[in-house]
Amino acid sequence: MDSLHLHFDIDGSDFTSAGEAASELKRVLRQLGFPPEIIRRCAISMYEGEINMVIHANGGTVDVYIDSDEIIFELIDSGPGIADVELAMQEGYSTASQEVRDLGFGAGMGLPNMKRYTDQIIVDSIVGVGTAVFMSIKLE
């Protein structure tokens, strides 16, 4: 099977549209007949990535490649970068503003959830340049 490619531009300007890319991905995966648990893992990982881009990076892009044996996500932004990736991967660590926390985000669970729900995650970040996150969810 050829890989199916989906591209999403994430609007970094407001929180109301956050989740639209994840919802669209969910709809596509449903149409393709993937099991609910795989869809849920993809949707949550994607949403966390989207939210991170909105909170920290003023948006970015997500490319999803659906292969026969895995689903691959490439999330790229030109935000401020992550100074200490290891720290950012720890549950509860967050640099989000109070305004963002009042909306219910900033629990420090974004990257940890992305790690939890994917089979592989690589975070590549350069301070002042941006962040690239690669995730893979294996299909049995």
Partner 1 sequence: MTVRMLAEKLDLECISNGDGNREVTGCYVGDLLSRVMGSAKEGNVWITIMSNVNVAAVASLADVSCIILAEGVKPDADLEAKLEIVDAALYTTPMASYEIAWKIHELIGV
Binding site for partner 1 (CB under 8 A): 15-16, 18-19, 22-23, 26, 36-37, 40, 43-44, 47-48, 51, 103-105, 107-110, 112-113, 116
Kindly state the smallest distance separating residue 22's Cβ from partner 1, in Å. Answer: 6
CA distances, 95 to each of 11, 28, 59, 88 (Å) = 20, 33, 17, 9
Which lies closer to partner 1 via its Cβ, residue 119 or residue 129?
Answer: 119
Using alpha carbons, list the distances in angstroms from residue 117 to 1, 42, 120, 121, 136: 24, 8, 9, 10, 9
Structure tokens at 139: 């299909």
Q: Rounded to whole angstroms, how far apart are CA atoms 105 and 103?
A: 6
Are the C-beta atoms of 76 and 130 separated by less than 8 Å? Answer: yes
The residue length of the chain stands at 140
Q: How far is the CB of 36 from partner 1 (least distance, A)?
A: 7
Q: How far is the CB of 21 from partner 1 (least distance, A)?
A: 10
